[in-house]
């Protein structure tokens, strides 16, 4: 359902957040604006400011919702992957691709630098929970320190975000590859990072220097 059709009087704040995802998916972060969201809903340009004083505060609410929903998607994908820790972490890469392909709200939105100065406890709660979940998945693979877990999370993010960016930039358009296939490729690429080529052992981690 589009934000326009889903908007009901009295629930403008929720509708603005929902419409923001549609604008992000179509236009990206750089072209995201409060005015574009208002046009999507068919409300006056002044209406959003009754709920959000500026672009940053609207984007912060979107960031909180995106972090919450992405974490939910990652947890579900990890659980579906089974009990092997490497499979569970690699599944997070696929969950990320599918989520960003659907919403346009990747980590560049969730952790947008412009949001750091804003005092938004809800956003901080959800963004921290998202990263904690990723670190927990990484630690379960057998990393020996917190620093190694952080590096492993960075590698998973690089794989997932890289595939998402290539897909959104049209790199795969000639082969008509959909988001589901790109998500599967991201999982396989993440699995390669997690597996030593010589042994194929699923719980042995490649050292990232």
Domain range summary for the chain, segments of one domain joined by +: 1-52, 69-209
Percent of the chain with pLDDT over 90: 60
CATH class of the 1-52 domain in this structure: mainly alpha
CA distance 209 to 192: 16
Q: How many CB atoms lie within 10 A of CB 139?
A: 19
Q: Could you identify the residue written with the tokens 């979940």?
A: 133
- What confidence tier does 10 reach under pLDDT thresholds 50, 70, 90? low
Residue-wise pLDDT tens digits, 142-176 = 988 999 999 999 999 999 999 988 887 778 776 67
Give the Cα separation of 202 and 192 in Å (integer). 9
Looking at the domain 69-209, which fold is it? Tetracycline Repressor; domain 2 (1.10.357)
CA nearest neighbour of 110 among 44, 24, 173: 24
Q: What global pTM score does this model have? A: 0.83
Tell me which H or E stretch contains 59.
helix 55-81
Instruction: Tell me the per-residue pLDDT of 55-88, one tens digit each, with 9 for 90 and over.
Output: 999 999 999 999 999 999 999 999 999 999 999 9
């Amino acid at each position: 359902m589009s934000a326009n059709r889903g908007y009901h009087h009295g629930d403008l704040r929720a509708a603005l957040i929902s419409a923001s995802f549609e604008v992000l998916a179509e236009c990206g972060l750089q072209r995201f604006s409060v005015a574009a969201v208002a046009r999507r809903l068919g409300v006056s340009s002044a209406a959003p400011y009754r709920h959000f004083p500026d672009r940053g505060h609207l984007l912060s609410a979107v960031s909180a919702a995106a972090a919450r929903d992405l974490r939910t998607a990652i947890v579900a994908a990890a659980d579906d992957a089974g009990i092997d820790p490497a499979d569970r972490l690699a599944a997070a890469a696929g969950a990320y691709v599918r989520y960003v392909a659907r919403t346009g709200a990747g980590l560049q939105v969730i952790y947008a630098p412009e949001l750091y100065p804003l005092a938004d406890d809800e956003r901080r709660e959800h963004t921290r929970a998202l990263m904690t979940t990723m670190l927990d998945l990484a630690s379960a693979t057998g990393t020996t320190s917190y620093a190694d877990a952080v590096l492993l999370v960075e590698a998973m993010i690089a794989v997932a975000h890289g595939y998402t960016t290539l897909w959104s930039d049209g790199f795969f358009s000639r082969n008509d590859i959909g988001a589901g296939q790109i998500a599967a490729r991201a999982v396989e690429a993440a699995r390669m990072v997690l597996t030593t080529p010589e042994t194929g052992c699923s719980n042995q981690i490649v050292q990232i220097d």
